[in-house]
Amino acid sequence: MTPPSNDAPEESLGRFSRAADTASTEVIRTYSTSFGLATRLLGQRHRQHVRNIYAMVRIADEIVDGVAAQAGLDASAQTEALASYVAETHRSIRVGYSTDLVLHAFARTARECGIGEDLTQPFFDSMGADIADATDFTAYDAEAHERYVYGSAEVVGLMCLRVFLRDETRTEKEREILEHGARQLGAAFQNVNFLRDLADDTDRLQRGYLGESGRLSDADRDAWVRTISAQLDDARRSIPLLPKDARAAVRSAQALFESLTRRVAKTPAATLYERRVRVPDPIKALLAARSVLVTSLERAR
């Protein structure tokens, strides 16, 4: 029997919410050293909100990218599990509470920062597109690729931007530039990861996110590297418009993916199907330190 609590209702909710934040922080710590490092560079007012976003999208991604299947769920059961997660996400945003700790944390972030179904539903639509019979190879044409990347990555950038701007004043033109930058950065991250994950996506997940022509050639890799580089250049131009306490983290993440892109560009396409390209931890730390230094020399906004 659970012992009774003497907490006042407000204190009990606060304790539960702190536990929810801890759960979200543990998700990012477990799944991504790179983004975990980047969030530590965020100002205190942004840090937990971005971790809460990451945790929500990470768990949704795990439903469709293998964890549910390894637990014995077939495609139909995975679809049902994702639908349940979507419904609980949107319900928790409406009411501000969930028994699911990660969704409770995300709901609090969404309500405070103005994140609604205009961003969450496209994300879940892309996740749903990943549920398929693994015996059938699924290839994405240009239109399907664009739609998938918008939902799976660009809207996540827009969610983070709503966190950064929730207490800020920007002109309509500045917001347009920032939103374009957030989308381009998200797209670049996703496209780099598609190149890094060619082996797993092709062999285990039976998906071809980068075209219908079969295995990528070195020329195909070069074309995607040019696309990614242009997206990263676009995103970089918007960083000075961010609040200063968000810039170092975004710069660090951008620098990491620029480094990854350079490494991918030097890796034969055939090798990308055999191993995952990564940036060594000491290089990640150096890129983060440089980002902090550059940001410290800028004026606040």
138: part of which helix (H) or strand (E)?
strand 138-139
In tens, the pLDDT along 5-25 reads: 555 656 899 999 999 999 999
State both tokens at 270. Answer: 């055939």
pLDDT at 34: 78
In tens, the pLDDT along 184-228 reads: 999 999 999 999 988 888 877 778 888 766 688 999 999 999 999
CB 102 within 8 A of CB 31: no
Query: Which has the closest alpha carbon to 232: 177, 266, 188, 178?
Result: 188
pLDDT mean for each 10 residues of the chain (301 residues): 58 93 94 84 96 96 88 91 97 97 98 97 94 73 93 97 96 97 96 91 81 82 96 96 96 95 96 92 92 86 62
Q: What angle do CA 82, 84, 89 make, to 5 degrees?
A: 95
pLDDT at 212: 66
Measured distance CA(192)–CA(195) in Å, rounded: 5
CA torsion, ordered 195, 200, 202, 207, to nearest 10 deg: -90
Q: What angle do CA 41, 43, 47 make, to 5 degrees?
A: 80
Q: Is 44 exposed, middle or buried (0-12, 13-18, 19+ CB in 10 A)?
A: exposed
CB 272 within 8 A of CB 196: yes
C-beta neighbour count of 170 within 10 angstroms: 15
Ranges of H-type helices in the chain: 9-31, 33-40, 44-64, 67-70, 75-95, 101-113, 117-129, 142-149, 155-165, 172-196, 198-199, 218-238, 244-265, 269-272, 281-296
Query: Which has the closest alpha carbon to 256: 74, 56, 38?
Result: 38
Measured distance CA(133)–CA(116) in Å, rounded: 31
Please report, for the chain, the start and end positions of each structural domain, with discontinuous segments joined by +: 13-115, 132-294
* Residue type (1 letter), 140: Y
CB 41 within 8 A of CB 248: yes
Query: Which has the closest alpha carbon to 101: 27, 162, 39?
Result: 27
| Residue in this structure with the two tokens 């964890």, named with its chain if needed | 67
Fold for domain 132-294? Farnesyl Diphosphate Synthase (1.10.600)
pLDDT at 3: 59
pLDDT at 9: 59
C-beta neighbour count of 236 within 10 angstroms: 17
Dihedral of alpha carbons 135, 30, 147, 215, sign: negative
pTM for the predicted model, two decimal places = 0.91
Measured distance CA(295)–CA(301) in Å, rounded: 12
